[in-house]
Amino acid sequence: MDFIKPIFCGELLQIAVTGERGGESEFVTFYQISASDQLRARGRLRHCAIDRVRRVRVPLPCQMLEWLDRGLLSS
């Protein structure tokens, strides 16, 4: 997360979250936090699907791909 300007206790914040597919095993979410129509912070988080036992990357589940393709993480 990159903090661009201070955020103060009690401020009304607007939070925008968007996303996009990465490779077959990952996707990225992007965050923007604004207050008083000024960008205060932004960041991104890369999500990667792994096999919990083998600890290796695996393709995203079909349901997740459909969810991303439908644009549920887009503005």
| Residuewise pLDDT in 10s, the chain (75 residues) | 999 999 999 999 999 998 888 888 999 999 999 999 999 999 999 999 999 999 999 999 988 888 888 876 554
Tokens for 42, please give them: 């932004």
Rounded to the nearest 5°, which phi and psi values hold at 46? -95, 125
pLDDT reported for residue 68: 82
pLDDT reported for residue 72: 60
Rounded to the nearest 5°, which phi and psi values hold at 62? -55, -40
DSSP run (H or E) holding 44: strand 38-48
Residues 26, 48 contacting (CB under 8 angstroms):
yes
Residues 51, 59 contacting (CB under 8 angstroms):
no
pTM as predicted:
0.74
Neighbours of 52 (CB within 10 A): 6
Where in the chain are the domains?
14-69
